Chain A
């Protein structure tokens, strides 16, 4: 069945473009004999179009397109790139199939059925924009700007997000990239070193790579992988803490098969060992840290033995890791992670990573955490306006303080959802979803539906009919990253030991947008006009925005085109610590806000009897839930087999390939099934699957029902107390086989 679907889809997709008439059907008129088929020509003779910036994921590699008779045949890395070079990943290569996906949104649509079970009617842009403008304006008139909530994601969502935040004036914006992903990392590092860390570890030049849950190889970002592999090739040791034998664990010198949720205890024991044994960087601590005394006192209870017990690993191994780090300090890369919203104790774990880097003296040194010095470009957008705290849900007016003091930008998701559903402290009545699929990025799908049910109006803008679009009243088709200008990508060469160079490149369309798809500037501005904000519109077109932003660097779209899409200029040496750089090992501001000022371990809930913890992560060929309908990527990994410990499987009588469903400890069952992957490479107390599968929208003819939607099983909404971000790994499941629920043995 899956085969037939895929096959039909491929043919449909292929025939969308004129060049793809099935050749075998070309029959000679004179002889009636079919001419022998033509060999695929390859793309070498095709026209090269420069200026592409990938957005199959958010690393954003630089592309060129190979165009034949107006059809984009292939994407390649831009040979001029000093970032990804000629390389792009599977997703990048499969961008062609997103572009021509027959399931893509093509016209503005109005839902004439029910929310959640839509019937779509094609309408004109005029009608769609009038409807969006008047409904949103009516919400603002009746309930105030705070009556609108926004769920944005991606490059195209920034401009509309700024419009609603700045010009309209709502605080109620929740980006999944912050609240369900990396926001905790950023604010924890800001609270420790004053900067968001990115993934700026100097992997090519390090002696030891230290990963907590990072699974590079399954998590693919091209230049990051290049840096990682270069580090390993240069002889770096790799330490990977993960309950699962991940792609990185498979390349590791030391695999720490840690119990989920205990990573902070593990790092506290390493740090305590380093302090107690005088193996930390005393000069660095002296010159560049604050609060060492309080910090070392606070972590002193964490002996190797105590952590070994808590983390279910050996004291010897913790010591081995600590010794390896100490022996190679300061040239050690303590990776800050990326998706870190795990257990609701995550701010403290991220603080521990930042502090560990500090006591090893591993900031701004070769092989440590080193922020490359990139070029500056402009950031034209809607003008900032002060809208006060009155309607900020993350503000406690009685105490005159934030509810979640270290929240990332925007308002914590649960504050918005609770307010929208309860109507307290004020009504939220309109919802704008732009490029995000909150049904599968945010845990608690029923709660998300309750939010939608409370709305007077919902609009979605996307390229694909994702699950959330089923809840839209108005659904607008956006041009994809291959068909529009917008994002400006800047950076440096990925190996900091090489000649220092900077690059600037801007996204430019490789092919014109098809059907009635429009870019975000057009859509936002048209809505702004209808809401009475015409005078505040900062740019009239997307080209104007890009040109203004490039002008900061004395560049323009035309100049970039003349430079094959990428401007390269001399860079700066990133090594060398700024004199005033400080690591706040103990941060009294955090303590003043009512949270531990030194990194502190808080145990997480354990699986009830008969359940295993549900862990999830990335598939190398998919980005979250965005690519499962892509025919090439679907074919590469059509579903997400659940990793099950081999001894547990033997106890349950399960073998590789058995088809199973799931029920979680809240009684929620998975809508679909997947297969079992039996392996000794996962702990007994957890199961693992790739995130993002099992879409529910039947308009995704390939992705619908393929694999299991992990997010549907994440109903326990842990909240990280410092940041208000979700923790998503405190959910527990049993397997269902042939209708029978199987208890996971302890």
Chain B
């Protein structure tokens, strides 16, 4: 099974219902977001005047660059396929790709809030929620889960349920008969980054003009993994130290600022 989502740009009217429903469902605080809608154009393209939308969300990549960068202490976790009851045990950090449904998930209990995964994502699909700060972190990373808890309860993702134009289609890309697979056969494509292939599972379908505009404007670059790794490394070193320092009550203002500076999320400025 590989969960995937199609955004049909021929249907999408750019109304933002998806983004607001997501806020309500998952208590996503302003100004952060699990998903977004950007309006493109109007601009002149080779195919004429064009304007369309970029409704973005986590791509739940086949090779998610975010997962590898998590500096949290790996632990053994047992995953269950909610459909068959099958289990699989793997060693994972605080974020992983689910072995059964292919979605990329986060364990907020163990997240250090360092933001390395957010930096590693070329799409900006993750944010650190500072409201969820605790003694282990300056916040917790949050992202689209493809509404895994809703889906496993038999519902559709909140964004899909509220889409006024039925422009969002959710399903199993591993099933060739699924509606999402039919869209892929018709030409639905993911926004793969320049110089990389991540295996994006959120994909776009539209006419040549609109797809051309979307891919011209929003094909991302791969993240600078050097700086991501430095941040992850610093987080793995500093966080336990901060925890210890706080317990001892000796962390001064300068120390707090150092830690804060290291874990600042540039995307959220």
Contacts and interface: CB of A to CB of B under 8 A. Distances in A.
Interface stretch (A91-99, A376-384, A512-520): A91-99
B134 A35 contact: yes
A24 B108 contact: no
Nearest to A225: B164
Most buried by B among A94, A232, A255, A637: A94
Given A7-B31, A250-B52, A76 B16 contact: no
Interface residues of B, number: 52
Interface in A78-137: 84, 86-94, 96
A245 interface: yes
Interface string A221-232: 010011001001
Contacts, number: 168
Interface string A325-360: 000000000000000000000000000000000000
A6 to B, nearest CB: 5
A233 interface: yes
A88 B109 contact: no
Contacts of A621: 15-16, 20
Interface string B148-183: 011001010000011111110000000000000000
Nearest to B11: A229
Interface stretch (B21-29, B79-87, B118-126, B259-267): B21-29
B23 to A, nearest CB: 6
Interface stretch (A39-47, A310-318, A365-373, A571-579): A39-47
B140 interface: yes
Interface in A559-604: none
A87 B17 contact: yes
B8 to A, nearest CB: 9
B260 to A, nearest CB: 15
A635 B30 contact: yes
Contact of B161 (A35, A86, A222, A225): A86
A352 B21 CA distance: 41
Interface in A13-71: 14, 22-24, 33-40, 42-44
B99 interface: no
A74 interface: yes
A681 B165 contact: no
B30 A10 contact: yes
B164 A89 contact: yes
A681 B51 contact: yes
A6 B43 contact: no
Contact of A679 (B21, B41, B155, B164): B41
Contact of A233 (B11, B20, B28): B11
B164 A33 contact: no
Nearest to A217: B13
B10 interface: yes
A220 B135 contact: no
B15 A89 contact: yes
Given A74-B24, A86-B161, A680-B49, A36 B108 contact: yes
A3 B31 contact: yes
Nearest to A79: B161
Contacts of A229: 11, 13, 165-167
Contact of A250 (B16, B25, B51, B108): B51
A76 B31 contact: no
Given A86-B161, A89-B164, A681-B42, A42 B20 contact: no
Contacts of B163: 87
A222 B16 CA distance: 12
B35 to A, nearest CB: 11
Nearest to A42: B149
B169 to A, nearest CB: 13
Contacts of B155: 44
B136 interface: yes
Interface string B109-120: 110000000000
Contacts of B17: 87-90, 92-93
A152 B256 CA distance: 55
Nearest to B49: A245
Contacts of A73: 24, 27
Interface in B36-86: 37, 41-44, 49-52
A632 B20 contact: yes
Interface residues of A, number: 64
B118 to A, nearest CB: 16
Contacts of A36: 108-110, 134, 136
B44 A680 contact: yes
A250 B14 CA distance: 11
Contacts of A216: 13
Given A24-B133, A44-B153, A217-B15, A39 B108 contact: yes
B134 A24 contact: yes
B51 A245 contact: yes
A245 B13 contact: no
B82 to A, nearest CB: 14
A313 to B, nearest CB: 15
B19 interface: yes
B9 to A, nearest CB: 10
Contacts of B140: 37
B150 A44 contact: yes
B49 A681 contact: yes
B49 A76 contact: no
Given A24-B133, A245-B42, A75 B24 contact: yes
B222 interface: no
Contact of A10 (B29, B133, B149): B29
Interface in A395-441: none
B131 interface: yes
B10 A250 contact: no
Contacts of A232: 10
Nearest to A73: B24
A42 B41 contact: no
A220 B12 CA distance: 12
B1 to A, nearest CB: 20
Contact of B16 (A24, A38, A90, A251): A90
B43 A681 contact: yes
A633 interface: yes
B132 interface: yes
A233 B10 CA distance: 8
Given A24-B132, A679-B41, A679-B43, A226 B165 contact: yes
18 contacts: A14-B29, A23-B131, A24-B131, A34-B135, A36-B110, A88-B21, A89-B16, A225-B13, A226-B164, A226-B165, A226-B166, A229-B167, A245-B51, A249-B49, A620-B13, A635-B30, A679-B42, A680-B44
Closest 10 CB pairs of A and B: A681-B42, A37-B132, A90-B16, A93-B20, A217-B13, A245-B42, A250-B51, A74-B24, A34-B134, A40-B27
Interface of B: 10-11, 13-17, 19-21, 23-31, 37, 41-44, 49-52, 108-110, 131-136, 140, 147, 149-150, 153, 155, 161-167, 210, 247
Given A226-B166, A635-B31, 16 more contacts: A6-B30, A34-B135, A38-B108, A42-B147, A44-B150, A77-B162, A84-B164, A87-B162, A233-B11, A245-B41, A249-B42, A250-B51, A251-B10, A632-B30, A633-B20, A681-B43
